[in-house]
Amino acid sequence: MNPPLTIWERLAGKGNSPALAQTFSYYAAFIALGLTTAVIGPTLQGLAQQTNSSVGAISFLFTARSFGYMLGALGGGRLLDRLPGHRTMAGAVLFIALALACVPFAPLLWILILIVFIIGFMESIVDVGGNTLIIWVHREAVAPYMNGLHLFFAVGAFISPLLIAQAILFTGNFRMGYWLLALLLLPVVLLLFPLRSPAPIVSHQERASARPNYVLVMLVAAFLLLVAGAEISYSGWIATYATKTGLADDVTAALITAAFWGAFMVGRAISIPLAARVRPRLIILFDLLLATGGIAVLLAFPASVLAVWGGTMLFGLGIASTFPTMLTFAGRHMTITATVTGLFFVGASMGNLVMPTLIGQLFERVSPASLLWVIGTMTILAFGVFALSVRVANRNKLVTQTH
């Protein structure tokens, strides 16, 4: 006898296909993930004042978050291969909400670092879970759904700095914004927890005997390191860059961050129909060209307010779909388990761990322009890593066909 249907599954229709309910729940979880990912950047200076820290010291929040994310990615994949995926994700979202609510109460930097570490750890479980489970639900037809998943991350990331800007306007500080974000995460917990999890693509026995191409796994992880590091570094530091160079005040800087995430959201929306019609490798190459062009605009016109807005939106538009499209590319050339996805996200978390902190140190000791030079270098390196990935994938395909 089948268990009774949940409310979400009834909404999905026909009682025998929960795919729609599952997909919508992942999209809701990724809105929550976007809300939390984008919140630190526009509040960085406020958090420095709250904890009496310098710009260089407060940059270690990025380190703590990314270190937590990396540990979560290492363990989260194994958890999701063994435990009910939806309940694991729901628990992680609940912990994030509680941690966000605690941020405005942290008087010392080390306490804030601990809270942000917890947020990063739980974010990775949500991230790995959503990216893995949506592949298990949609299998070979996952490409547009994967890009849709990451579109909803962008929706959350776009809304987050707007909420922070409104909190600053109405209350004079950012604290109310954190509490509001924490409340917005709670409905996601209620959506995910009762929903049945999808079956893995491979069984436990098959997973034990499966041997992915680890060279390709490492190349995909390296690519994600570069693009995720560039994305989080830019979104985290562009507000501080705009204020330190005298191009914007605090509210305008938060709006520039929102412009990045708005363009990012548009880029991911455009990528959904493209993913069903265009090969992933072509999308990635075009995306990297746009992102590099955005940085070039900022470097060419460093004193122009218009260039900050235009370059920011161009970079956001370009970098937007590189991450989900690379995951789709990987899924076409290897079997995706939660453990393999976890390895991808370890690479991404290393970019998030190293790059924002490196930029923070250069920002203070060299100049704010270090932000642009480091990210420009990362996008150029991403071209090379992707070319190697395509070569290894093609060679692996030929070997498979031969045998």
Q: What are the domain boundaries of the chain?
A: 19-402
pLDDT at res. 398: 52
The end-to-end CA distance of the chain, in Å, is: 44
Other Cβ atoms less than 10 A from the Cβ of 164: the count is 30
**Encoding tokens for residue 232?**
């989080």
pLDDT at res. 380: 95
Is pLDDT above 50 for 7? Answer: no
Q: Give the ranges where 172-279 is alpha helix by DSSP (H).
A: 175-192, 204-209, 214-244, 250-275
Given a contact cutoff of 8 angstroms between Cβ atoms, the answer to whether 132 and 338 are in contact is: yes
Answer with the residue of higher pLDDT: 230 or 360: 230
Phi, psi for 245 (deg, rounded to 5)? -90, 0
Q: What is the largest CA-CA distance in the chain?
A: 69
Express each pLDDT in 175-228 by its tens digit.
999 999 999 999 999 999 888 878 776 544 444 445 667 889 899 999 999 999
Is pLDDT above 60 for 163? Answer: yes
Q: Which residues, including other chains, have CB under 8 Å from residue 286's CB and lie 6 or more apart?
A: none
**Range of lowest pLDDT (4-18, 163-177, 230-244, 335-349):** 4-18
**Range of lowest pLDDT (96-110, 177-191, 356-370):** 356-370
pLDDT at res. 3: 47
In this prediction, residues 247-273 reach a mean pLDDT of 88
State which amino acid sits at residue 352.
N
What's the rounded Cα separation, in Å, for the pair 70 and 122? 10
**Encoding tokens for residue 326?**
């690379």
Q: Which residues, including other chains, have CB under 8 Å from residue 236's CB and lie 6 or more apart?
A: 40, 41, 44, 62, 356
* Fold category of 19-402 in CATH: Growth Hormone; Chain: A; (1.20.1250)
Confidence of residue 66 (pLDDT cuts 50, 70, 90): confident
What's the rounded Cα separation, in Å, for the pair 52 and 34? 27
State which amino acid sits at residue 248.
A
**Encoding tokens for residue 53?**
């820290």
Express each pLDDT in 289-321 by its tens digit.
999 999 999 999 988 999 999 999 999 999 998
Express each pLDDT in 36-52 by its tens digit.
988 888 888 889 999 99
Given a contact cutoff of 8 angstroms between Cβ atoms, the answer to whether 39 and 160 are in contact is: yes
